[in-house]
């Protein structure tokens, strides 16, 4: 198998499941995560550590983490909004923490009930905790609403970049940019990631794009063209944000993997097994809509993947 050129980070079990009303039973979550791992995904955001009264879909976060860390070669990530969540995630054994820090003042208050400055302080406390309890654990800041906000509208680019730099100064290993509500366009993505990489170098993190207005793939491609190599995506395009009105599905993992593999950019993922991983997702969330053009249309005749050149279904 060719070494992957890009890292596709699956966020469905977190971003996807927190945005649907139904709660996927734990056993189904584990089967789904196993299928994602079997398809070749090597980084999965499996849960968020938030109070169960706020997000009952994530009440089993620790159990899900404890299972996911048994899968060989998998980086197990969890979203944590505060020190308390980070403590619980570290205790459960995660490999990487991801912290949402909103660039929109309005979304920050709605999402975590903190100002942006307070959130940077919280991140600093989490970095201290990580140093103490889990020095080998990764810590990533995801700058949410980096491309616009349904509550506030425009989010000034200078503020986005300044906040990303502050997060790294506060102790995050990297800071990525999230289009939480699907407002981004490719020119804006190119501009912001170019600036981010100029400021942070290899501490510039992932592109987290939503497909709300159909530009998710175009935005990922724009980010790739300015050097971004890690992309968040969600199987079946599940996803949203309960505290950002109008947020909807993430970039569809199946379509993103198809785009890169068709371009000759290796993802390490077997797309046929990836499409098969929709079955346990649908079994665990009966009646929930799943999206994706590639799974619906099928792979082109004779399609060969650079990641799996000898594998044919
Ligand atoms: Zn998202």
What mean pLDDT, rounded, does the chain reach? Answer: 93
Q: Work out the percent of the chain whose per-residue pLDDT is above 70.
A: 95
Locate 36 and state its tokens.
Answer: 């994602």
Domain positions in the chain are 7-312
Q: Dump pLDDT digits (tens) for 216-230.
A: 999 999 999 999 999
Q: Which pLDDT band, with edges at 50, 70 and 90, does 246 fall under?
A: low
| pLDDT at residue 283 in the model | 96
Q: How far is CA 17 from the centre of its chain?
A: 12
**Ligand 1 center to 125 CA (angstroms):** 24
274 pLDDT exceeds 70? yes
- The protein residues having their C-beta less than 5 angstroms from ligand 1 (an ion) are 15
Mean pLDDT for the stretch of residues 286-293: 90
Higher per-residue confidence, 159 vs 290: 159
Radius of gyration of the chain (CA): 18
Which segments of the chain does DSSP mark as H helices, in order?
Answer: 26-38, 61-68, 83-92, 105-112, 116-133, 157-169, 186-200, 216-225, 253-263, 271-276, 278-284, 293-297
Nearest to 274, CA basis, from 260, 259, 291, 253? 253
Q: How many residues does the chain have?
A: 313
**Ligand 1 center to 40 CA (angstroms):** 22
Q: Could you give the CA distance from residue 6 to residue 194 in angstroms, rounded to a whole number?
A: 18
**Ligand 1 center to 11 CA (angstroms):** 8
Q: Dump pLDDT digits (tens) for 33-56.
A: 999 999 999 999 999 999 888 899
Q: Could you give the CA distance from residue 140 to residue 287 in angstroms, rounded to a whole number?
A: 34
Q: Which residues are catalytic?
A: 241
Nearest to 269, CA basis, from 258, 279, 280? 258
58 pLDDT exceeds 60? yes
**Ligand 1 center to 161 CA (angstroms):** 19
Helix (H, G, I), strand (E, B) or coil at 70: coil
**Ligand 1 center to 209 CA (angstroms):** 7
Can you point out the beta strands (E) in 197-251? 204-209, 230-233
CA-CA-CA-CA torsion for 253, 255, 258, 260, nearest 10 degrees? -70
Q: Which pLDDT band, with edges at 50, 70 and 90, does 306 fall under?
A: confident
Mean pLDDT for the stretch of residues 106-131: 94
313 pLDDT exceeds 50? no
What is the reported pTM? 0.94
Contact 71, 37 (CB under 8 A): yes
What lies within 8 Å, CB to CB, of 135 at 6+ separation is none
| pLDDT at residue 243 in the model | 57
| pLDDT at residue 111 in the model | 84
**Domain 7-312 classified CATH 3.20.20.70?**
yes
| pLDDT at residue 241 in the model | 55
What lies within 8 Å, CB to CB, of 100 at 6+ separation is 79, 81, 111, 112, 141, 142, 144, 178
Mean pLDDT for the stretch of residues 181-200: 97
**Ligand 1 center to 238 CA (angstroms):** 9
| pLDDT at residue 247 in the model | 56
**Ligand 1 center to 273 CA (angstroms):** 24
Q: Which pLDDT band, with edges at 50, 70 and 90, does 242 fall under?
A: low
């Amino acid at each position: 198998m060719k070494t992957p050129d890009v890292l596709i980070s699956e966020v469905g079990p977190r971003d996807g499941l927190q945005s649907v009303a139904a709660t996927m039973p734990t056993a189904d979550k584990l089967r789904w995560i196993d299928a994602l791992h079997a398809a070749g995904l090597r980084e999965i955001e499996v849960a968020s550590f938030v109070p169960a009264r706020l997000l009952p879909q994530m009440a089993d976060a620790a159990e899900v983490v404890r299972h996911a860390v048994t899968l060989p070669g998998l980086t197990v990530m969890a979203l944590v909004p505060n020190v308390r969540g980070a403590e619980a995630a570290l205790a459960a054994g995660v490999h990487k923490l991801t912290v949402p820090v909103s660039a929109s003042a309005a979304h920050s208050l709605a999402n975590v009930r903190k100002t942006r400055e307070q959130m940077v302080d919280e991140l600093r406390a989490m970095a201290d905790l990580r140093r103490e309890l889990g020095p080998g654990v990764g810590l990533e800041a995801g700058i949410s609403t980096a491309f616009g906000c349904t509550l506030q509208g425009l989010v000034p680019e200078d503020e986005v970049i300044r906040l990303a730099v502050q997060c790294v100064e506060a102790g995050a290993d990297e800071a990525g940019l999230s289009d939480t509500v699907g407002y981004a366009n490719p020119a804006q993505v190119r501009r912001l990631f170019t600036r981010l990489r100029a400021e942070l170098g290899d501490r510039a993190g992932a592109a987290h794009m939503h497909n709300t207005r159909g530009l998710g793939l175009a935005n990922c491609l724009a980010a790739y063209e300015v050097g971004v190599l890690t992309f968040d995506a969600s199987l079946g395009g599940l996803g949203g944000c309960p505290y950002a009105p109008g947020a909807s599905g993430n970039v569809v993992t199946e379509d993103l993997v198809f785009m890169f593999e068709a371009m000759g950019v290796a993802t390490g993922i077997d797309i046929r097994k990836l499409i098969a991983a929709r079955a346990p997702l649908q079994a665990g969330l009966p009646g929930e809509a799943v999206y994706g053009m590639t799974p619906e249309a099928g792979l082109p005749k004779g399609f060969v993947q650079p990641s799996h050149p000898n594998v044919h279904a």
